[in-house]
Chain A
Amino acid sequence: MSATEVLQSGAGCTSQQLFDCRDAYIRVLEEMAADDPRVCAVANDSVSSAKLKGFRAKFPDRFVNVGIAEQNMVGVGAGLANGGMIPYVCAAACFLTARAMEQVKVDLAYSKSNVKLCGMSPGMAYGQLGSTHHSIEDLAWTRVLPDLAVVVPADPLETAAAMRYSRLHEGPMYLRISRMPVPRVHGDGYEFKLGKAVLLRQGSDVTLMATGVLVSRALQAAFALAARGISARVLNVSTIKPLDEEAILDAARATRGIVTAEEAFARGGLGGAVAELLVQKHPVPMRILGVPDSFPPTGSAEFLMEHLGLSAAGIENAALDLLKDKR
């Protein structure tokens, strides 16, 4: 198979079919609510975008719609947790984080409130709607907050597993739930472990570290690189915080460099977190793929991902460029 054919084949993924991770999120949220009377949901009119219509119908007494009021929404979540509930605060990631950032900092992280934030349709999923509706700053904003776990599932299996884990985790979490279609990259029976990166493919020349919707693209890039005789390790860094320092340092020691890829600004997110670690403990050549330091142009999510090189080909090219680096 040529590199191009590999890129088009969905190689390395465990399904050809593509999924909206919100379906896994809401299925598990409803399952947990059925099992645990403490589980409740808080929305900001986001009944459709957060797929909460079924939850509202099944658990009307445990569904709070505060209307279009994000600061209040996050504060209400903190109060529900104070009262012994386990609130899932579900809203478009762009508004949930940006509009309510002080509440996320003070009412959740600083207070160690047992609230789960579900940031829906993050990244550039709202494509043509523009930068107002993109959430590509959220990883930088959230990952600096102590005590707030930041998780970006890569596929429906990981979304479901991370949701199940979140109910048992005592403390605040930010879960970034994508609507952008993705294949499965994990096998059945996948278990989520907070703070553990998932080794999806072993390799010795270069490491591709991706998060969220970039993980399947990184796997495809690894197959394309294999066709060129290059052995690429692939790590799914689904927990941005706390970072799996051991897996990242292992990769830095075992391969010649690291390419990170995320659907977020290239500054301050996964790439920044990896660079902060490596520059202090084991510097290696890096390429950080993400949205460059300008607001993206108009275009669909798919167009923007390709346009900005957040694609299998983009990751492959970054790896090739890195391996040319003689340092």
Chain B
Amino acid sequence: MTKSLNGVGMDQDSPGKLKQEANWIRLSAMTMTHNAQLGHTGGDLSSADILAVLYFGGVLRVDPSQPNWPQRDRFVLSKGHCSGAFYSALAARGFFPPAQLKTHMEPLSMLNGHPDRNKLPGVEANTGPLGHGLPIAVGAALAARMRKESWRVFVLTGDGELQEGSNWEAAMTAQHYGLDNLTVIVDRNRIQQGDFTENTIRMEPLAARWSAFGFAVDEVDGHDSAGLLDRFSHLPIQPGKPSCIIANTVKGKGFSLAENQPAWHHGVPDDEQLAAAAVELGVEVGW
């Protein structure tokens, strides 16, 4: 599944291909979690379509052959616990060999439970504690502006994660500086570790909140590859404003046993469940 590149950017895969790539990310992440007996299946599965469109839809201008290329778009995974899906996307995109996914969380592995930019190419920020990604993304967007460069910054947050106040500090900075080179994508799967978000601390009206904080906001189906691709291909939503895309997702998407089940936030599939997931997703891991 490794893609060849001509310089920067890449061919844009069709929505059907993107769905297949997302399902590969799903099964790869579940396999990693199964192997390590640790991981965050629910969020890996809800974010897979978003990651596939970013990395295979021609959205992110990145070059795996020169991961620190100064003009690259920055992608920050703020929900760092979904490293299974993220690492799978990076490997599939060619940042490191997919076989390295076998080492996930093994002793001395480069694939820590949460991403470490000093260990793995393609990782922009060390995340894990929630509410860190957006401030970092805001700083990077400010850097692009100071340097008068055209690269953009994307950050993927969870929804429960937005209970961390640092996000809203950063949102205020983004709107004050009119950072239209910044796009926040919210993986709105409506479940956090302990319960549904709305039973924990209500997040609604989420779009209105982002809008009130000065973002241009759009809501999309986070599993509609064509819709995501169309939305990500037309940014900023409004010139002069940072963009917020609320991607409505299903936690555990693609593995029906796990869908919309809080217990699968960090559920670990057993042998039978992993085999069932492979059938349901219709892909082979191959690493």
What is the minimal beta-carbon distance from A154 to any residue of chain B, in angstroms? 32
Interface size class of A (residues with CB under 8 A): 20 to 34
Q: Does A165 sit within 8 A of B, measured CB to CB?
A: no
What is the minimal beta-carbon distance from A64 to any residue of chain B, in angstroms? 6
User: Beta-carbon contacts of A28-68 to B below 8 Å, as 1s and 0s?
Assistant: 00000000000010100000000000000000011010110
- Closest chain B residue to A62, Cβ basis: B146
> Is the pair B139, A76 in contact by a Cβ cutoff of 8 Å?
yes
What is the minimal beta-carbon distance from A82 to any residue of chain B, in angstroms? 5
> Is the pair A75, B132 in contact by a Cβ cutoff of 8 Å?
yes
Tally of contact residues, B, Cβ under 8 A: 35
With beta carbons under 8 angstroms apart, the residue of A64, A74, A106, A110 that contacts B142 is A64
List of A residues within 8 angstroms of B116 by Cβ: 110
- Closest chain A residue to B133, Cβ basis: A75
What is the minimal beta-carbon distance from A180 to any residue of chain B, in angstroms? 30
Q: Does B166 sit within 8 A of A, measured CB to CB?
A: yes
Q: Does A102 sit within 8 A of B, measured CB to CB?
A: yes
A58-102 interface with B by 8 A CB criterion? 61-62, 64, 66-67, 69, 71-85, 87, 102
Interface residue ranges, B against A (CB under 8 Å): 70, 74, 116-118, 124-129, 131-132, 134-144, 146-147, 153, 165-166, 169-170, 172-173, 176-177
User: Considering the chains assembled together, what is the distance between the CA atoms of A78 and B173 in angstroms?
Assistant: 15
Given contacts A82-B143, A110-B126, contact A72 B138 (CB under 8 A): yes
- Closest chain B residue to A59, Cβ basis: B146
Given contacts A110-B126, A111-B125, A111-B126, contact A76 B146 (CB under 8 A): no
List of A residues within 8 angstroms of B139 by Cβ: 42, 75-83, 87
User: Beta-carbon contacts of A104-142 to B below 8 Å, as 1s and 0s?
Assistant: 001100111000000000000000000000000000000
With beta carbons under 8 angstroms apart, the residue of B132, B134, B142, B170 that contacts A83 is B142
Interface residue ranges, A against B (CB under 8 Å): 40, 42, 61-62, 64, 66-67, 69, 71-85, 87, 102-103, 106-107, 110-112
> Is the pair A103, B140 in contact by a Cβ cutoff of 8 Å?
no
State the majority secondary structure of interface residues on B: helix
> Is the pair B140, A79 in contact by a Cβ cutoff of 8 Å?
yes
List of B residues within 8 angstroms of A79 by Cβ: 125, 135-143, 153
What is the minimal beta-carbon distance from A98 to any residue of chain B, in angstroms? 15
User: Considering the chains assembled together, what is the distance between the CA atoms of A111 and B135 in angstroms?
Assistant: 14
Q: A61-B146, A72-B170 are in contact. List 15 more A-B contacts (CB 8 A).
A: A42-B139, A64-B173, A66-B172, A72-B166, A72-B169, A72-B172, A75-B166, A78-B136, A80-B142, A82-B124, A82-B125, A82-B136, A102-B129, A103-B135, A106-B132
Shortest Cβ-Cβ A-B pairs, 6 listed = A79-B139, A83-B143, A75-B135, A72-B169, A69-B169, A76-B139
With beta carbons under 8 angstroms apart, the residue of B132, B141, B176 that contacts A107 is B132
What is the minimal beta-carbon distance from A75 to any residue of chain B, in angstroms? 3
User: Considering the chains assembled together, what is the distance between the CA atoms of A166 and B135 in angstroms?
Assistant: 23
> Is the pair A71, B118 in contact by a Cβ cutoff of 8 Å?
no
With beta carbons under 8 angstroms apart, the residue of B135, B141, B144 that contacts A72 is B135
> Is the pair A80, B140 in contact by a Cβ cutoff of 8 Å?
yes
> Is the pair B173, A66 in contact by a Cβ cutoff of 8 Å?
yes
Q: List 24 A-B contacts (CB under 8 A).
A: A40-B146, A64-B142, A64-B177, A66-B172, A69-B173, A71-B165, A72-B135, A72-B173, A75-B136, A75-B170, A76-B138, A76-B173, A78-B135, A79-B141, A79-B142, A80-B139, A80-B142, A83-B147, A102-B132, A103-B135, A106-B126, A107-B136, A110-B126, A111-B126
> Is the pair B132, A67 in contact by a Cβ cutoff of 8 Å?
no
